[in-house]
Amino acid sequence: MTAPTKYIAKIKESIRKEDRTSGQVSEQLPVYNAWSADGDVTAELVFVNYGVPSDYDQLERMGIDVKGKIVIAKYGGSWRGIKPKVAQEYGAIGCLIYSDPQEDGYARGDVYPKGPFRPNDGAQRGSVLDMPVYPGDPLTPNIGATADAKRLTQAEALNLIKIPVMPISYGDALPLLSSLTGPVAPAKWKGSLPITYHIGPGATKVHLKLQFDWKLVDCLNVIAKIKGSEFPDEWVIRGNHHDAWVNGANDPLSGMVAEMEEARALSELMKTGWKPKRTIIYCAWDGEEPGLIGSTEWVEHHASELQQKAVAYINSDGNGRGFLSVQGSHTLEKMMGEIAGEITDPQTSVTVLERAKSYRATNAASIKAKKDILGSKSLTIDALGSGSDYSPFIQHLGIPSLNIGFGGEDDAGVYHSIYDSYDHYKRFGDPTFEYGIALAKTAGRTTLRLSEATVLPFDFKGFHKTVNQYLTEVTALIDDLRESTEVDNQLIKERRYVLAADPTEKYISPVAKESIPYINFSSLQNALNLLEKSTTTFVELYSTNPKPNTNLVTLNQLLAHAEQKLLSTDGLPRRPWYKHTIYAPGFYTGYGVKTLPGIREAIEQRSWKEAQEQIEIAAKTIIEYTANVDAASKILMMR
Ligand SMILES: [Zn+2]
């Protein structure tokens, strides 16, 4: 801070005697955001809450413009990369991101080393690559970043942020925020620092100078392959990343050791003469933290072979004490419920399925949701957004994918800091390491179930049911938006907002929005209707022991390749790397998933023509998907 007083940020996480690796100062990676731009900027500071689009709407109402300013945003509310992206869209020239104690500091519990939460000087490193556009090496979209790959220039890479971005601790943010003047921040924007939060701008100026080393370095993936004895050209792929910010005891090593234990168990089995029916590939990815680089480049490089041979991809990442959570392709939901019903929870001795259901049912938002969970025998899996190495497999290639992990009783505030250490993990992550074993059992069984099944355990009924729910959601979304737009336009027309505002404060009324037309969902509704009929037939015919002369290779290929039919050739609007029409990370949420993303985001952005186009595209992919299900049924019918 250069004005009104001078403050130099410490940007240093201190040594704590309770944490043995916190003193490895010379080996520690400094605090920074990967893929920030180089820059040397001085400007007035503006507090923008989480820095998501709705926060800038609010600023507009207050007559505050961030053009030419440096913004300071809180962590939370979105993936971190969204904050500088939206800031630069609004003309800001620099971005600071700080960890408010409300998010993962003293407002949540005792701070480290007394408790697990983020201390005063803890900062969250992390990537700000615009991954919702495409992940991986920014210079090689769609192709593997091999030594001789044709590379874009930095200026051509569409996912590089153009302004300098820096993460800081709440210790360093406090002097800046307490110096801000201007309007008091809205109640919802307040964090847990002992100050009155002001927005600025005003006398508070900051100087941000960042310079990075842009040289090209290698990423080293570790790939181990066990050849299948019956279906060598059908691959079950299991992965976790091995790179970390600093020590990474939780993220990613708690998941990586579970994967290594699975691989060790398989090697023991192999010593007895066992061989898997399908080929199993174990992967340890590099470069996940800067932007899913190791996995994305590997997937892009081997794309056509993977689309031929991969049956499924099973991912894990950080793991800890608590409840099983699974996200993934809904074709695999039924199988995951069966597996979860076979594994014992280390703390309570019920199955991990019952524990996960209990957690979900008691925490569900509505009575209906609670009833649904209690009424279902199986596990509900969530859709995949982004944030780990499954992204290229499912969203770029359409390979059925899963992300598996335990957690919820390991809450902490050391994510991407030097304190994500063995000493922290041993006290607060998974003190007995029993959830590491539970993960190895869950992911190991999933791998084996998929490698050993004569007919792949895919369930299209669950997929149909889930997509039907997504369709209900997007139709409700546009209906709600239509109604709220009409009411809002009336409020604007009758000057109600202005009359409700405090006349002594600056207030700029929003402008009326175009009223919303009715769009036609019938093609998608009809496609889903046909899919439902096909799945009913398939379920009746499905057998794990089909007739002896069944063409298993063709049958399994139809099952494994069905998900690829859900890809659209052109990909999503403005981000063609993402090809899946059912699951994608949100363009303005980052890690958070958008289901039926083309349709949903077009509605959110009020692009009606695009929404209609995306409905037709999604319907077409569902029809092609259905054709695969029908073809599989036909094989099962043959004598
Ligand atoms: Zn990770």
Determine, yes or no, domain membership for 6: no
**What does R_g of the chain's alpha carbons equal in angstroms?**
26
Alpha carbon of 604 to those of 53, 488, 567, 584, 600: distances in Å? 12, 16, 22, 15, 6
Q: Which of 216, 28, 60, 249 has the alpha carbon at shortest distance from 138?
A: 216
Q: Give residue 489 CA to ligand 1 midpoint distance, Å.
A: 44
433 lies in the same domain as 290: yes
E strand segments, 160-200: 165-168
Mean per-residue pLDDT for 42-56? Answer: 97
CATH code assigned at 90: 3.50.30.30
Count of other CB atoms within 10 angstroms of residue 575: 21
Determine, yes or no, domain membership for 353: yes
Q: Which active-site residues does the annotation give?
A: 288, 522, 580
Cβ(317)–Cβ(240) under 8 Å?
yes
466 lies in the same domain as 509: yes
pLDDT, tens digit, 9 for 90 and up, residues 3-26: 999 999 999 999 999 999 999 988
Q: Give residue 318 CA to ligand 1 midpoint distance, Å.
A: 6
CATH code assigned at 520: 1.20.930.40
Q: How many domains does the chain contain in total? A: 3
- Cα–Cα distance, 204 to 554 (Å, whole number): 67
Q: Give residue 481 CA to ligand 1 midpoint distance, Å.
A: 36
Least reliable range by pLDDT among 147-161, 235-249, 578-592: 578-592
- Cα–Cα distance, 256 to 23 (Å, whole number): 24
pLDDT, tens digit, 9 for 90 and up, residues 284-300: 999 999 999 999 999 99
Q: Give residue 154 CA to ligand 1 midpoint distance, Å.
A: 26
Determine, yes or no, domain membership for 424: yes
pLDDT, tens digit, 9 for 90 and up, residues 363-373: 999 999 999 99
Determine, yes or no, domain membership for 217: no
- The angle formed by the CA atoms of residues 408, 414 and 418, to the nearest 5 degrees, is 145
pLDDT, tens digit, 9 for 90 and up, residues 35-46: 999 999 999 999
Mean per-residue pLDDT for 526-555? Answer: 93
E strand segments, 288-358: 310-315, 322-328
Q: Give residue 228 CA to ligand 1 midpoint distance, Å.
A: 29
263 lies in the same domain as 401: yes
Determine, yes or no, domain membership for 215: no
- pLDDT of residue 309 exceeding 70, the answer is yes
Domain carrying residue 56:
25-210
Q: Give residue 388 CA to ligand 1 midpoint distance, Å.
A: 6
Determine, yes or no, domain membership for 192: yes
Mean per-residue pLDDT for 314-318? Answer: 98
How many angstroms separate the first and last alpha carbons of the chain? 79
- pLDDT of residue 190 exceeding 70, the answer is yes
81 lies in the same domain as 117: yes
Q: Give residue 252 CA to ligand 1 midpoint distance, Å.
A: 5
Predicted local distance difference test score (pLDDT) of residue 430: 98
Mean per-residue pLDDT for 446-450? Answer: 98
322 lies in the same domain as 344: yes
377 lies in the same domain as 483: no
430 lies in the same domain as 494: no
CATH code assigned at 434: 3.40.630.10
Domain boundary among 210, 238, 258: 210
111 lies in the same domain as 199: yes
CA atoms within 13 A on the CB side of 197: 18
- pLDDT of residue 432 exceeding 70, the answer is yes
Q: What is the DSSP letter of 566?
A: G
Determine, yes or no, domain membership for 573: yes
572 lies in the same domain as 611: yes
- Cα–Cα distance, 362 to 594 (Å, whole number): 25
pTM, two decimals, is 0.96
Q: Which residues surround ligand 1, an ion (CB under 5 A)?
A: 251-252, 317
pLDDT, tens digit, 9 for 90 and up, residues 466-495: 999 999 999 999 999 999 999 999 999 999
Predicted local distance difference test score (pLDDT) of residue 639: 62
567 lies in the same domain as 619: yes
- Cα–Cα distance, 455 to 449 (Å, whole number): 10
